[in-house]
Amino acid sequence: MPFTRGKKPAVSAASRLPKLSSRANENQEEGSQVKRSSSPPTGAPKKRTAFIDITNAHKVGLSLPGRKKEATKKTVKKPAVASSSVSARNQKWPDIFKSFFFCLFQIPAEFDIDAENREDCVMCPEYAKDIFDYLKQREEKFVLQDYMPQQSSLNAEMRAILVDWLVEVQENFELYHETLYLAVKMTDHYLSKTSVHREMLQLVGSTAMLIASKFEERSPPCVDDFLYICDDAFKREELITMEGSILQTLGFDINIPISYRFLRRYAKCVNTGMDTLTLARYFCEMSLLEMDLVLERGSLLASACLLLALLTKDLGGWTPCLQFHSGYDLCDLSPVVRKLYFCLSAPLDERLKAIRNKYSHKVFFEVAKLPLVDLDVLENALLKKEKTEEPI
């Protein structure tokens, strides 16, 4: 069960992955504070408003004895401005508004997935597509290569065990999924630049989860919680030192685009139900275990997971709306979808159960128990050409 932070639950130190259990809540009583009245005592002069003294919000005129008010205020004549500069300044604003409204209406009506959120300013419907286009451009900065040959004491299996353990940490701490994806991304980028001994791999993963929690969570777990989930194998100073090492290695640029955000965005293009979106999320989370899929961009991987989920649920294939917002067509997705399919259809590894157990629960619609789409159906869908291609 999830637990709150503050007190350590009982756990077996001999287990491979420390299990987390519920912790007792600590109730701390706050001392009562006496509220002082702002009204003056009887006979005391009335307090002045402080803002009148320090701002120009209110103009207070004081009549002092022996001093007369000035009848007229001295006016300063402004210099004449050339008519050409005035006209240029007047033409500047229409051009700005014109470009702004062009950005609003450049999306065709049939591809406008933010129309229902026009009245909700929190959803940023005016520039939601621009945000994800920007994130897609930032992906070029965070493209990874196969870094395992550079790691003398690590391999892909050790990395998969670490990711499987991080899934348990995310689930038991009740962290956002964005935190998990960002922690895995930071771990991969750090390992691609720094050689790490196998005994320090868990410290790298837990520290990356701590940094991701500070970046994504409203109330992140404390350092002692992460020391505990490592079964007290590391000291507080070591974790703090590793935190500084990761941040300096990544240049403090940890706003890495993750596939989970792209997946939620692209799912709006086809109005998928929660069960289909959860199935795509299951595929996307399983892809975190595979070293071969670490090399793929998050937007491309999210598109492949969504397409495989649509084919598994027999809800159609890649639509023009999905192609418009993602920028990928079937030719771009086919290699990644095939790679993802064979990873999911591989025999189960008994050491990697966290994700499958998580998505076998009723809360996640038991999507891990659903059979994959038949390979022949998948190949026919990937090789299918659109009869009428709409201009994008």
Q: In terms of domains, do 269 and 360 share one?
A: yes
pLDDT band for 46, please (50, 70, 90 cuts): low
Compute the mean pLDDT over every residue in the chain, rounded to the nearest whole number. Answer: 81
User: 174's torsion region: left (phi>0), alpha (psi -120 to 50) or beta?
Assistant: left
Decide: 53 and 40 in contact? Cβ < 8 Å: no
What's residue 118's pLDDT? 79
Query: Last residue of some domain: 221, 249, 277?
Result: 249
Q: In terms of domains, do 341 and 283 share one?
A: yes
In a domain, 205, yes or no: yes
Q: In terms of domains, do 230 and 274 share one?
A: no
In a domain, 270, yes or no: yes
Decide: 204 and 242 in contact? Cβ < 8 Å: yes
Q: In terms of domains, do 277 and 359 share one?
A: yes
Whether 173 shows a pLDDT value over 80: the answer reads yes
Query: Last residue of some domain: 191, 218, 249?
Result: 249
What's residue 28's pLDDT? 43
What's residue 51's pLDDT? 41
Whether 263 shows a pLDDT value over 50: the answer reads yes
- Tell me the whole-structure pTM to 2 decimals: 0.73
The candidate with the shortest Cα–Cα distance to 283, out of 302, 300, 266, is: 302
pLDDT band for 41, please (50, 70, 90 cuts): low
Give the mean pLDDT of 235-253. 97
Give the mean pLDDT of 150-165. 96
What's residue 341's pLDDT? 97
Max CA-CA distance within the chain?
101
Q: In terms of domains, do 290 and 229 share one?
A: no
Q: In terms of domains, do 240 and 272 share one?
A: no
The candidate with the shortest Cα–Cα distance to 17, out of 202, 264, 272, 216, is: 202
Q: In terms of domains, do 309 and 285 share one?
A: yes
pLDDT digits (tens, 9 = 90+) for 313-360: 999 999 999 999 999 999 999 999 999 999 999 998 999 999 999 999
Q: How far apart are CA 90 and CA 85, in angstroms?
A: 9
Decide: 2 and 172 in contact? Cβ < 8 Å: yes
Q: In terms of domains, do 182 and 290 share one?
A: no
What's residue 75's pLDDT? 52
Residues counted in the chain: 392
Give the mean pLDDT of 92-117. 65
Whether 151 shows a pLDDT value over 50: the answer reads yes
Whether 24 shows a pLDDT value over 50: the answer reads no
Q: In terms of domains, do 238 and 268 share one?
A: no
Whether 45 shows a pLDDT value over 80: the answer reads no
Q: How far apart are CA 10 and CA 294, in angstroms?
A: 35
Q: How far apart are CA 307 and CA 344, in angstroms?
A: 14
Q: How far apart are CA 18 and CA 232, in angstroms?
A: 10
Q: In terms of domains, do 241 and 311 share one?
A: no
Decide: 205 and 165 in contact? Cβ < 8 Å: yes
What's residue 385's pLDDT? 52
Range of 334's domain? 259-383
In a domain, 366, yes or no: yes
Q: How far apart are CA 252 and CA 248, in angstroms?
A: 6
Q: In terms of domains, do 294 and 344 share one?
A: yes
Decide: 217 and 179 in contact? Cβ < 8 Å: yes
In a domain, 185, yes or no: yes
pLDDT band for 388, please (50, 70, 90 cuts): very low
Query: Last residue of some domain: 184, 214, 249?
Result: 249
Q: How far apart are CA 342 and CA 92, in angstroms?
A: 56
Convert the chain into a string of H (helix), E (strand) and C (coil). Answer: CCCCCCCCCCCCCCCCCCCCCCCCCCCCCCCCCCCCCCCCCCCCCCCCCHHHHHCCCCCCCCCCCCCCCCCCCCCCCCCCCCHHHHHHHHHHHHHHHHHHHHHHHCCCHHHCCCHHHCCCHHHCCCCHHHHHHHHHHHHHHHCCCCCHHHCCCCCHHHHHHHHHHHHHHHHHHCCCHHHHHHHHHHHHHHHCCCCCCHHHHHHHHHHHHHHHHHHHCCCCCCHHHHHHHCCCCCCHHHHHHHHHHHHHHCCCCCCCCCHHHHHHHHHCCCCCCHHHHHHHHHHHHHHHHCCCCCCCCHHHHHHHHHHHHHHHCCCCCCCHHHHHHHCCCHHHHHHHHHHHHHHHCCCCCCCCCHHHHHCCCHHHCCHHHCCCCCHHHHHHHHHCCCCCCCCC
In a domain, 293, yes or no: yes
Q: How many domains, the chain?
A: 2
**35-44, 102-111, 281-290: the lowest-pLDDT one:** 35-44
What's residue 178's pLDDT? 97
pLDDT band for 77, please (50, 70, 90 cuts): low
The token pair at 74 is 């001295």
CATH at 185: 1.10.472.10
User: 196's torsion region: left (phi>0), alpha (psi -120 to 50) or beta?
Assistant: beta
The candidate with the shortest Cα–Cα distance to 213, out of 175, 185, 264, is: 175
* Better-scored residue on pLDDT, 5 or 202: 202
